[in-house]
Amino acid sequence: MATSKGEIAINEDFCKGCGYCIEFCPKDCLILGDNFNSQGYRLPVFAQKEDCTACTICGKMCPESAIEVYKYLS
């Protein structure tokens, strides 16, 4: 049986640092990082890559559509 693993891409220029992606990730794959974008917003970091199931909740919750989710079957 194949299992899904995911990867995300965060468009740093669109991110407003709201933290919804962090708050709603059921696997706690995202954390608030130390880096800022050009607008001064603190950016999320994809910290627990191995736990991501590509559920797409982070991308759906992002009001700025700054997150793309990619699903890989293994």
pLDDT at 2: 62
User: Which is nearest to 19 in space by CA: 54, 55, 28?
Assistant: 28
Quote the mean pLDDT of the chain: 94
Q: Quote the tokens at residue 67.
A: 């997150």
Mean pLDDT of 41-64: 96
pLDDT at 61: 98
Domain 4-71: give its CATH architecture.
2-Layer Sandwich (3.30)
Q: What is the DSSP code string of 7-73? A: EEEE-TTT-----HHHHH-TT--EEEEEEE-TTSPEEEEE--GGG-----HHHHH-TT--EEEEEEE
**Residues written for the chain:** 74
pLDDT in tens, 12-25: 999 999 999 999 99
